[in-house]
Chains A and B, each alone.
Chain A
């Protein structure tokens, strides 16, 4: 067999397309990209708005498009206040300025995306920038005409003279406008004047994502580029001991280099399939390292021991909960719950392309974090951070998984060794097995009810691996009894239900497992524990589940409004019918560091199909403040519930001999179209500015399913995922 791999040759046009898609913009036409290279002068109005003399208005996007719609929603906020011609604007990726940074808790500001904050943190900033630029353009026009600014109005990229009927294009005015000072506190539009915000704009990226032209990290192609595949030590903390047949594998067609890292081996070849073949051929010895004993049984035992510990670190202590519970051992109701580690499993496996040159590094890829990636790559390449240039295109999903730049670091090491652009792609197996997982958690909840059947005293104990202790120790909350991780008690310790005596405490079980945030992270455990326990209490008291929650929400009208909206849309007051079982759950979602407050209530309907109960319909009511784009907001509700249902029914990472046991969709399955329920979104509008909307629908789903199962079958699951046997209908 003779095989002659052809060199990577890109025509100039193809290269420009890639450059256009990644160098500066996501999907604007090629000519706009060329224009920015200096052929047409461009004026900068604020950090966000760039207008060239040809009239193209380019809006900056600092938050990667991972599917949530940032590529449409964020520029539309700028365009609204700017009065730009929305269909004609271009959007480009921007980075490196203070204006693009956001702050979480006590961290220094950085450019990053996560925690449902893209719109919440940038809404006012983008409106202000758009309004300031509009005023600058109006001033420039007024000066040209020699009229007061009040005689001018703006529409679709033009300044109009109200008296004379003359008009000037933004492109004509931009050079003059850019010389004017940026107004710091420009007046903003009244909501009633919005033409883009609050509407249902189509996504800007749909055409590219339906004709195959959208460039994801996987699709980056550069002249002279090599491709890399990787095998990572299976055990967490394991290391590479030996590669036995390196010389033999290096003789394979196209294979250029075998790079040995402390914990992995990387094969670099002309083509990716050659690199992956080389990895499969390599005879590699790994050591399990110090964690070879790690197993799910051990993880579970640790957490269960924590549930039994005498005291935990209190996250909340109001009234006399422990005393009341101690005084009435015969009246205590107790429930226990468990959730496993989870993998993000975005459809696009982690990948990155890196080119290390003498005085700069360029990075392309499916990357959710900006500054963290720049820092990691600069360190590996021995460069200053301002020498690292990150080009972010479309991400094939992330859900928090592509924030940690471990995969980018691996690509950077390969690129540094080869001196040519290298694209490293993780297989699905590497993507799942070496993810940074959503942490595990167990809960034990105890309550004593009052004479009416409502909670008089509650003690919630949570135990598991701490996300913050593992990733951000300075986010831990300090108490005289030790530190606790608020994400372990999300959905529990900040309570909008009226509980007179309430004690929440936490015990961490340190584990060597890499963990990270994942869509709704702590709430996806805490709300399962809390709302399932409320289900048990209402069931014990013989009170309707909706009425029970109404009573608990009596002091919190904002939540009550959303709960009522869900119940009403679901027809809770009407009998469900013999083959339908319903469950209701509620959650007030507090954004990280107090960044927002969103309300969500869901009613799940199970339908009996043969001898199975199937999740057939979900009514989801949300108050997430002003909805900037109803189209993408509804998509978030649908997708978030699908994501939650996958976790509820299927997802579990278990460990054995120090390694994650799951590695592909065979053993880490995703929801299919056949399993997707009907979804009824109920948007409860409010006067508040936009609140977090991408995660809040996730947490209430599993407890609502669990409650519906209790109604349907007389028992409910206490461990995620809810295995198939729970859905067996009684004969």
Chain B
């Protein structure tokens, strides 16, 4: 059995069972390790990728679910001035250990795509990813900064 989908704009085929978590298919079979394993139950968001532009938790998403669809990982986002999220994250030096930050950036990018100028309440509701270093103050500031830049 195999699953063909678009990964960061390129077609890829996963040779394996449909029910393998997308996270591990991407990490182990396509060598993109920027998306992290944190909880395995879809709670922490370290594994967040975009599916057709929407943030999804991929440690609990079967690869079969993305057949024929477009998956974007942290490696697929631009890092130049065209990406205000990345710029804001660097300007405010957000990461500490950094492990959750790929997921945070993916969640933020998705939030800003549907809500270009989120309030603090919008952020509280949309950003449910977890950070044990508690970099939340800089994350919040970076989201607002990215909104201003966009």
* Contacts between chains A and B (CB distance < 8 A), count: 195
Does A184 lie at the interface of the complex (its beta carbon under 8 Å from any beta carbon of B)? no
Q: State whether the Cβ of B46 lies closer than 8 Å to any Cβ in chain A.
A: yes
CB pair A665–B41 under 8 Å, yes or no, is: yes
Residue from the list B20, B96, B124, B130 in contact with A67, Cβ < 8 A: B96
Residues of A within 8 A of B131 (CB): 347, 642, 670, 673
8 contacts between A and B (CB under 8 A): A66-B97, A67-B95, A206-B93, A210-B86, A221-B33, A273-B24, A673-B131, A676-B137
Inter-chain CA distance A427–B39, complex, in Å, is 7
1/0 contact string of A184-228 vs chain B (CB within 8 Å): 000000000000000000110111111111111011010000010
A2 to B140, alpha carbons, bound, how many Å? 47
Residues of B within 8 A of A215 (CB): 33
Q: Is B15 an interface residue, CB under 8 A from the partner? A: yes
Q: Which of B20, B40, B134 has the most CB of A within 10 A?
A: B134
Interface residues contributed by chain B, number (CB under 8 Å): 61
Residue of B whose beta carbon sits closest to that of A671: B134
Q: How far is the CB of A443 from chain B (nearest CB, A)?
A: 26
Chain B residues, Cβ within 8 Å of A635: 93, 96, 135, 138
Q: By the criterion CB–CB under 8 Å, are A397 and B133 in contact? A: yes
Are A205 and B95 neighbours in the complex by a CB distance under 8 Å? yes
A2 to B15, CA, bound (A): 9
- Contact present for A4 and B40 (CB under 8 Å): no
Beyond A4-B15, A211-B86, A642-B136, whether A218 also contacts B37 by CB under 8 A is yes
Known contacts A210-B105, A673-B136; A347 and B46 CB within 8 A of each other: yes
- Measured CB to CB, the closest approach of chain B to A653, in angstroms, equals 15
Whether B115 is near chain A, meaning CB under 8 Å from some CB there, is no
* B-side contacts of A394, CB under 8 Å: 97-98
**Are A212 and B44 closer than 8 Å at their CB atoms?**
no
A636 to B, closest residue via Cβ: B96
1/0 per residue A427-439: CB within 8 Å of B?
A: 1110000000000
CB distance from B144 to the nearest CB of A (A): 13
Main SS at interface, chain A: loop
13 new A-B contacts, CB < 8 A, other than A212-B74, A273-B21, are A66-B97, A206-B90, A211-B34, A212-B75, A213-B34, A347-B38, A347-B99, A396-B100, A641-B134, A665-B39, A672-B124, A673-B136, A679-B137
B58 at the interface (CB under 8 A from A): no
Chain B residues near A347 (CB, 8 Å)?
36, 38, 44, 46, 97, 99-100, 130-133
Which residues in window 504-540 of A have CB below 8 A to B?
Answer: none
Q: Mark B135-150, 1 if CB is under 8 A from A, else 0.
A: 1111110000000000
Q: Which residues of B contact A202 (CB under 8 A)?
A: 93
Q: How far is the CA of A209 from the CA of B133 in the complex (A)?
A: 14
Which residues of A have CB within 8 Å of B27?
219
Question: Chain A interface (Cβ within 8 Å of chain B)?
Answer: 1-6, 10, 14, 65-69, 202-203, 205-216, 218-219, 221, 227, 271-273, 345-349, 394-399, 425, 427-429, 631, 635, 638-639, 641-643, 645-646, 664-666, 670-674, 676, 678-679
Q: Which single member of B24, B36, B86, B123 contacts A216 (CB below 8 Å)? A: B36
Residues of chain B within 8 A (CB-CB) of A349 are 37-38
Bitwise interface map of B from 97 to 125 toward A, beta carbon under 8 Å scored 1, else 0? 11111100100000000000000000111
Scoring B35, B73, B136 by chain A CB atoms within 10 A of each residue's CB, the highest score goes to B136
Q: Which of B11-58 contact A (CB under 8 A)?
A: 15-17, 20-21, 24-25, 27-29, 31-41, 43-44, 46
B79 part of interface (Cβ distance < 8 Å): yes
- Cα separation A657 to B46 with both chains bound (whole Å): 32
CA distance A63 to B28 in the complex (A): 29
Task: Decide if B16 touches A5 in the complex (CB within 8 Å).
Answer: yes
Q: Which of B1, B17, B98 interacts with A214 by CB under 8 Å?
A: B98
Given A347-B97, A642-B133, A673-B127, also A6-B15 (CB < 8 A): yes
Assess whether A212 is in contact with B132, with CB atoms less than 8 Å apart: no
Partner of B37, one of A6, A69, A221, A425: A425
Residue B5 CB within 8 A of the other chain: no
- B97, A395: Cβ atoms under 8 Å? yes
Q: Are A631 and B93 in contact (CB under 8 A)?
A: yes
Q: How far is the CB of A705 from chain B (nearest CB, A)?
A: 15
B135: chain A residues within 8 A (beta carbon):
635, 638-639
Most A CB within 10 A of own CB, among B17, B34, B101, B137: B137
- Annotate B67-101 by CB proximity to A: 1 below 8 A, 0 otherwise: 00000011101010000001001100111111111
Report whether A397 and B99 are in contact in the complex, using a CB–CB cutoff of 8 Å.
yes
Residues of A within 8 A of B102 (CB): 210, 212
B138 close to A209 (CB less than 8 A):
no
Q: Is A203 a contact of B130 with CB atoms below 8 Å?
A: no
Given A641-B134, A643-B132, check contact A428 B40 (CB 8 Å). yes
Whole-angstrom distance from the CB of B30 to the nearest CB of chain A?
11
Q: Which residue of A lies closest to B21 (CB)?
A: A273
Distance between Cα atoms of A396 and B102 in the complex (Å): 12
**Chain A residue nearest to B101 in the complex (CB):** A209
Instruction: Give the Cβ gap from B67 to chain A, nearest Cβ, in Å.
Output: 15
Instruction: Say how far A265's CB is from chain B's closest CB, in angstroms.
Output: 18
